Chain A
Amino acid sequence: MRSPLVAIVGVVLAIVVFSSLYTVSETEQVIITQFGKPIGGVVTTPGLHVKVPVIQNVHRFDKRWLEFDGDPNEVPTKDKKYIWVDTYARWRIADALRFYQAVQHERGGQSRLDDIVDGETRNAIASFDLIEIVRSSDREFQITEELEGIMTAEAVAEITIGREAITQQILERASVITPEFGVELVDVRFKRINYTESVQQAVFQRMITERKRIAERSRSEGQGRAAEILGQKERDVLAATSVGYRTAEELKGKADATATDIYARAFGRDPSFYEFFKSMETLKASLGKDATVILSTDSDLLRFMKGSRP
């Protein structure tokens, strides 16, 4: 009856062997505890490792950058604007031993972080005006001509610190405390910043009023310019017409003068002959069928009617 013994010994051996080996993944760091107390340091080298079987236990922690998503918080800024701030952060277990001793699990770490990051975020937001939190630089906005003058003074104010620096400040201040439980905070960022409902309504109202003002201004500018152009039209039309009339009259006047001069010089040579000549022309032109003429026999024409000698 050797086979049952062999089988039992085989099984026990297998258990011992399997419980003395453990793997560490690229993403893991491991702490070995013996009877609940940590033994040795943190095992970070990936691969197959050996431990004392059965009595030593393996506690695995992630080596990677881990998630943290803060709950959105309603926070007032320094200039009393209530905003929803939703931060996210990335952290890692830098000292697994201390982490294990302080919080045991990731969940514990998360909740500690929650308090710390939340607190620092509120502090930071309350210390700065909204414009500092939203903007990262002082770049000037490019506005079209139409929207000239639309911005409030607040909107174009210069910033001294800016979004990036504020998140950096939150990171730095929180990082002072986190090593206490073995955590290194590697990045903190604003995921979302939005107005609270009532503030948003007021902002929308402001946006609407601003736009309506611009619309009104555009319309009246258009009408003003159109009236200007129509006035100019009137002026230019009258100018053209009157200049034309003046030039025409000048020309006519000059022509009349020239003609008169020509006539005077021609007819002036012998005014009495001119008078005679012109009278002859006029008689021919002006007397017609409606004229009754009384002629005397003394006239040059009829004097020979009385006799052949004058």
Chain B
Amino acid sequence: MARGNWGEGPIDIGGAKVQLPRLPQLPTGSIRLVVIAAAVLFLLFTSYYQVEPEEVGVIQRFGAYVRTTEPGPHLKIPFGVESVTKVPVQRQLKMEFGFRTVRSGQRSEFASPAEAQAESRMLTGDLNVAVVEWIVQFRIRDPKAFLFHVRDVPETFRYMSEAAVRKVVGDHSVDEVITTGRAEIALEAKAELQRLCDLYGIGIEVQQLVLQDVNPPDAVRPAFNEVNQAIQEKERAINEAWADYNQAVPRAQGEAEQLVRAAEGYALERENYALGDAKRFEALYAEYRKAPEVTRKRMYLETMIELLPQLGQKVILDEKARGVLPLLQLDGTVKEVKQ
């Protein structure tokens, strides 16, 4: 019997008839469609790219730089001919030295792993040791230089930062580093770091270098604190002494003033009393001069009038009766009035 096409009708194999199962018949068009669709997708996938607002895209064709693209959607030559590297040039980047922020948020937590501790210990210009933590804030200024000039920019930048800060700290005393020279050191280190960036041509702009915690090493910290305490004690002792002085001396001056014023009062009193007495006497004397004998007698009698009533015992004796005196009982104090 006639041999049909594959899948149609029975097949003759040496007499026996075997019926093959019927295969589903695919329309020839759909396989092609799937293949075409896959190819188109692959094309789109390797030619479309998006640059975020803070980035730029650096395009290399067969490895050679061709252009830099701005933020937005873009197309490039697909199938690996052109490649894009996105570089965040607008984002402010940060590196920490001597500590690591574990959790950021309202209150950031700093952990200090061994590597971070090694970053922070350094020699100062007076051959002492200080522990310095700092951060560097920077941005990528030149994406081409960043990508093509130096390999492993983050590690390089980290080493440069350490070298810069250590150089500047190595020119200052430990006290300057901990207290008075912090701002100056940060500025100098930033300038030095930028100088190195320009020397290396890594296309980075250093925006800020800020010192964080700066301390003497733990082992010597109590001694440093002791100095501060001693200074406070000294100031306190001096202040207390001055307070004592300012309480005692003005008071003594006041008391001295008081003495002088009292003496002035006394002087005034004395003078006035004297003048008063003198004036009274002079007035009296003027009158006396006009009639001395009469005035004397008058004064005498007036005095007696006033005096006799206030006396105690009065004994009137005749001049010739002097002999009585020895027989008189004398009680108390006796004042003898003789003529």
A residues whose Cβ falls under 8 Å from a Cβ of B = 23-28, 45-48, 62, 64-67, 69, 88, 90, 130-131, 134-137, 139, 141-144, 146-147, 151-152, 154-156, 163-164, 187, 189-195, 200, 203-204, 207-208, 211-212, 214-216, 218-219, 221-223, 225-230, 232-233, 236-238, 240-241, 243-245, 247-252, 254-256, 258-260, 262-263, 265-267, 269-270, 273-274, 276-277, 280, 283-284, 287-302, 305-306
Contacts and interface: CB of A to CB of B under 8 A. Distances in A.
Nearest to B275: A262
Contacts of B334: 291-292, 294
Contact of A266 (B236, B277, B318): B277
Interface string B89-118: 000000000000000000000000000001
Nearest to A252: B263
A25 B242 CA distance: 79
A222 B126 CA distance: 27
Contact of B151 (A27, A191, A233, A289): A27
A218 B224 CA distance: 13
A289 B331 CA distance: 13
B247 to A, nearest CB: 9
Contacts of A204: 129, 217, 219-220
Q: Which of B62, B65, B314, B315 has the most CB of A within 10 A?
A: B62
A67 B155 contact: yes
B163 interface: yes
A160 B220 CA distance: 31
Nearest to A146: B231
A227 B296 CA distance: 72
Given A259-B273, A263-B278, A277-B284, A67 B151 contact: yes
B292 to A, nearest CB: 8
Given A193-B166, A211-B226, A251-B266, A293 B256 contact: no
B257 interface: yes
What are the 7 A-B residue pairs with the smallest beta carbon separation, nearest first?
Answer: A244-B256, A222-B234, A255-B267, A46-B64, A248-B263, A25-B63, A266-B278
A145 to B, nearest CB: 10
Contact of B249 (A142, A227, A233, A288): A233
Q: Which of A69, A221, A243, A301 has the most CB of B within 10 A?
A: A301
Interface stretch (B26-34, B44-52, B305-313): B305-313
B253 interface: yes
A296 B300 contact: no
B322 to A, nearest CB: 9
B207 interface: no
Contact of B299 (A131, A134, A203, A277): A277
Interface stretch (B5-13, B17-25, B167-175): B167-175
A47 B318 contact: no
B294 interface: no
Given A240-B256, A249-B263, 6 more contacts: A26-B147, A141-B176, A218-B227, A223-B234, A293-B315, A300-B300
Given A187-B199, A207-B129, A300-B301, A265 B278 contact: yes
Interface of B: 60-65, 118, 121-129, 147-152, 155-156, 159-160, 162-163, 166-167, 170-176, 180-181, 199-200, 216-217, 219-220, 223-224, 226-227, 229-231, 233-238, 240-242, 244-245, 248-249, 252-253, 255-260, 262-264, 266-268, 270-271, 273-275, 277-279, 281-282, 284-285, 288, 292, 296-297, 299-301, 303-304, 306-307, 310-319, 325, 328, 330-339
A208 B288 CA distance: 99
A139 B170 CA distance: 11
A227 to B, nearest CB: 8
A287 B245 contact: no
A243 B200 contact: no
Contacts of A26: 60, 63-65, 147-148
A49 to B, nearest CB: 8
B311 A288 contact: yes
B339 A298 contact: yes
Given A134-B170, A156-B126, A248-B259, A291 B315 contact: no
A284 B256 contact: no
Contact of A258 (B173, B274, B300, B338): B274
A207 B128 contact: yes
24 contacts: A27-B147, A134-B125, A134-B127, A134-B170, A136-B171, A142-B181, A156-B126, A192-B122, A204-B129, A215-B226, A215-B229, A222-B236, A230-B241, A236-B249, A266-B277, A266-B281, A267-B281, A270-B288, A277-B299, A288-B310, A289-B310, A293-B313, A293-B315, A295-B315
Contacts of A254: 267
Nearest to B152: A67
B249 A247 contact: no
Contact of A232 (B128, B156, B245, B296): B245
B166 A143 contact: no
Contacts of B176: 141-142
A46 B307 contact: no
Contacts of A223: 234, 237
A46 B65 contact: yes
Given A142-B181, A164-B167, A229-B238, A219 B260 contact: no
Given A151-B126, A254-B267, A143 B281 contact: no
A222 to B, nearest CB: 3
A297 B317 contact: yes
Contacts of A290: 312, 332-333
B177 to A, nearest CB: 10
A141 B177 CA distance: 10
Contacts of A287: 307, 310-311, 335
A203 B129 contact: yes
B339 A299 contact: yes
Contact of B227 (A143, A215, A232): A215
